[in-house]
């Protein structure tokens, strides 16, 4: 492996580990000796990489360090192109445009030989069978999720019954045929799944909910695993589904 590529791969390995990772583990992952890892760490620090740690303890890359997009590998660019195409075909208009804009920004700074990975992608996504409809603007939901704020929903279930809910939105799940809001429902005092096409009205209450979103998401994942049911089947076939 050429040294510039190895240095890039070392940065990537450090970025994947939020806690200190030993030189031995890094050496095993990159297929080099620990002595080489020590030298490469010194080089990266000299070049300005914010790496904390020491020999015998481990190393951690502080948040905020960015590498230029031209350092992407061909496989990574293929993955970005495929993901951007999937999103542009299936997400709502604002996210679809954002995906196209993000790929255009990356393509603008790529060297010529790599631009083709984005402009003429080798990996393609088949269009969705049918366009997805939304009962409300998903942008309002995304904003509430991002800022951890309560929402007021008017929800119509499969039988046509209408109910008013106050929820703590934690995630928006995109499928081919439907988009689903995962939220803690104050009305039911439990996690619930709400199909976006059945939300006839949604408003941001501009009130912070009392728990952090990542903590709620962790509990939701644990409950879903403990239930022994397949999440995808639940979200696609049921409405306002509880987690048992």
pLDDT > 50? residue 118: yes
pLDDT at 168: 97
Residue 29's domain comprises 3-61
CA 138 from centre of chain: 16
What is the average pLDDT score of the chain? 84
133 located within any domain: no
Query: Total domain count for the chain?
Result: 3
Specify whether the CB–CB gap between 181 and 191 falls below 8 A.
no
126 located within any domain: no
Residues 29, 99 within the same domain: no
Instruction: Give residue 235's pLDDT band: very low, low, confident or very high (50, 70, 90).
Output: very low
CATH of the domain at 9: 1.10.10.10
243 located within any domain: no
Residues 8, 96 within the same domain: no
Q: How far apart, in whole angstroms, are the C-alpha atoms of residue 194 and residue 19? A: 36
Portion of the chain with pLDDT greater than 70, in percent: 86
Q: Which long-range CB contacts under 8 A does 106-109 form with residues at least 24 apart? A: 106/69, 106/72, 106/77, 106/80, 109/68, 109/69, 109/70
Residues 49, 16 within the same domain: yes
Segment 200-223 shows an average pLDDT of 93
Residues 84, 115 within the same domain: yes
- Give residue-wise pLDDT tens across range 66-112: 655 456 778 888 999 999 999 988 888 899 899 999 888 888 777 77
The closest of 242, 234, 237, 172 to 202, measured between CA atoms, is: 172
12 located within any domain: yes
pLDDT > 80? residue 2: no
The closest of 56, 17, 65 to 38, measured between CA atoms, is: 56
225 located within any domain: yes
pLDDT > 50? residue 197: yes
CATH of the domain at 228: 2.30.30
Whole-structure pTM value: 0.65
Residues 204, 159 within the same domain: yes
pLDDT at 243: 41
Portion of the chain with pLDDT greater than 90, in percent: 41
85 located within any domain: yes
Which phi-psi region, left, alpha or beta, contains residue 56 (left: φ > 0; alpha: ψ -120 to 50)? left
Specify whether the CB–CB gap between 162 and 154 falls below 8 A.
yes
């Amino acid at each position: 492996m050429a040294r510039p590529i190895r240095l890039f791969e070392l940065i990537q390995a450090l970025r994947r580990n939020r806690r200190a990772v030993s030189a031995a583990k890094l050496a095993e992952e990159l297929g080099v000796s620990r002595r080489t890892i020590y030298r490469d760490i010194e080089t990266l620090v000299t070049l300005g990489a914010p790496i904390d740690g020491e020999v015998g303890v481990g190393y951690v890359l502080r948040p905020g360090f960015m590498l230029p997009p031209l350092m992407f590998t061909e496989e990574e660019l293929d993955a970005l192109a495929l993901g951007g195409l999937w999103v542009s075909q299936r997400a709502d208009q604002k996210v679809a445009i954002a995906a196209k804009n993000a790929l255009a920004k990356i393509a603008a700074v790529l060297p010529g030989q790599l631009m083709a990975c984005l402009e003429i992608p080798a990996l393609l996504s088949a269009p969705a069978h049918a366009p997805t409809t939304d009962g409300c603007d998903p942008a309002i939901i995304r904003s509430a999720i991002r800022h951890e704020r309560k929402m007021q929903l008017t929800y119509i279930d499969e039988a046509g019954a209408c109910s008013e809910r106050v929820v703590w939105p934690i995630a928006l799940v995109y499928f081919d045929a439907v988009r689903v809001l995962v939220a803690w429902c104050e009305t039911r005092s439990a996690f619930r799944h709400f199909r976006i096409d059945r939300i006839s009205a949604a408003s941001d209450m501009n009130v912070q909910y009392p728990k952090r979103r990542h903590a709620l998401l962790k509990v939701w994942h644990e409950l879903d695993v403990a239930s022994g049911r397949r999440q995808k089947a639940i979200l696609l076939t049921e409405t306002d589904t509880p987690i048992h």
